[in-house]
Amino acid sequence: MLAITGPQDYASVMSAVHKALPPARNKFLDLVPDTGVKLTPKHYAYLKISEGCNHRCSFCIIPSMRGDLVSRPVDQVLIEAEKLVKGGVKELLVISQDTSAYGVDVRYAEREWRGKQYRTRMTELCEGLSELGVWTRLHYVYPYPHVDEVMPLMAEGKILPYLDIPFQHASPRILKLMKRPGNVDKTLERIQNWRRHVPDLTIRSTFIVGFPGETDAEFNELLDFLREAELDRVGAFAYSPVDGAKANELPGQVDEELKEDRLEQFMAVQAEISAAKLQRKVGKTIRVLVDEIDADGAWGRSSADAPEIDGAVRIDDGQLLKAGQFVDVVVEEADAHDLYGRLA
């Protein structure tokens, strides 16, 4: 026997199994952070909806190793989500290599769940997940036009007003070299449009600086985009070649020192944007999911904070809270990453 769990406590069963038999991991390919499913606290879980990818970004080897997109049927994903929620999960983190492409490989096949038909498609998946009454957070979304369809669900509070969109760059020429969609004006227009519909939308993104051939002017285009888009959460990496990636053959590899210098500049610009945006939350009351309790208070996250990658909310009087509990917090202070407050 590995563990004694409650009835339908799927999360604990999986945790015990993974403790006894850790799943093989590949740090280059797995989407789940290195903490893995086994160490994910009981109150949130990663929900993988597909494997592989139809894109061919020049810096990435995932498609050559994992193949083209293979979507899990929507009913299977919803059944897994339902089990996780029955097991105590309060937040589902939808992951894939390209969430917005979900179902394209199966022509958006229709499946039945709880007596209702759902298409294997991002919007319909979100509608199904919203029936579960927990937080749903979308990761790895491309800014395609059909992403507009999930805005009403966010505006109605059915899924979290949060989008993780890895833009990677903002110079059309660099995006073309990366083999990624390159219409930056359309992207900015789309972001503004989303924010009109969902004013509290959090947009998270990742970028690569120092991609082969990136000039000073193109790097500045990226900084201009950052200032104009006012993204909420941003991660950035200095470009580093991956064995087997097409981008390694591109001319004009950027000097390491220059890459680091650009990364520093990029992060400084973003820290200013982030600090200003978080400052606007001071005085507001926000919903927080509690993650950890210590002797001096508790740490939790709001709709704007995905676990592991974003900031957090410190609750100064949260000593008696429990992990997995939802509470309202009045924000009293903010820095460039985190918020600090007290129970409302």
Minimum Å gap between C-beta 98 and ligand SF4 is 5
Rule CB under 6 A: say whether 164 interacts with ligand SF4: no
Question: How many helices (H) and strands (E) are present in the chain, helices listed first?
Answer: 10, 15
CA dihedral 67, 91, 320, 293 (to 10 degrees): 10
Rule CB under 6 A: say whether 342 interacts with ligand SF4: no
Residue number, 56 or 284, with CB nearest to ligand SF4:
56
Minimum Å gap between C-beta 52 and ligand SF4 is 8
Give CA–CA dist 153/123, Å, rounded: 9
Among 38, 42, 48, 55, binds ligand SF4 (CB under 6 A): 55
CB atoms within 10 A of CB 218: 18
269-308 residues in contact with ligand SF4 (CB under 6 A) are: none
95-134 residues in contact with ligand SF4 (CB under 6 A) are: 97-98
- Looking at residue 255, the DSSP 8-state letter turns out to be P
Q: Which stretch binds ligand SF4 (CB under 6 A): 48-56, 153-161, 264-272, 335-343?
A: 48-56
Q: Which stretch binds ligand SF4 (CB under 6 A): 7-15, 54-62, 110-118, 188-196?
A: 54-62
Q: Rounded to the nearest 5 degrees, what angle is found at the Cα of 96, between the Cα atoms of 292 and 269? A: 65
Q: Is-contact 313 339, C-beta < 8 A?
A: yes
188-247 residues in contact with ligand SF4 (CB under 6 A) are: none
Cβ neighbours of residue 74 closer than 8 Å, sequence gap 6 or more = 103, 109, 111, 113, 118, 119, 120, 121, 124, 125, 128
Rule CB under 6 A: say whether 60 interacts with ligand SF4: yes
Residue number, 53 or 334, with CB nearest to ligand SF4:
53
Give CA–CA dist 19/3, Å, rounded: 10
Residue number, 97 or 171, with CB nearest to ligand SF4:
97
Among 14, 32, 49, 57, binds ligand SF4 (CB under 6 A): 57
* H or E stretch at 259: helix 256-279
**Where do contacts with ligand SF4 occur on this chain (CB under 6 A)?**
53, 55-57, 60, 62-63, 97-98
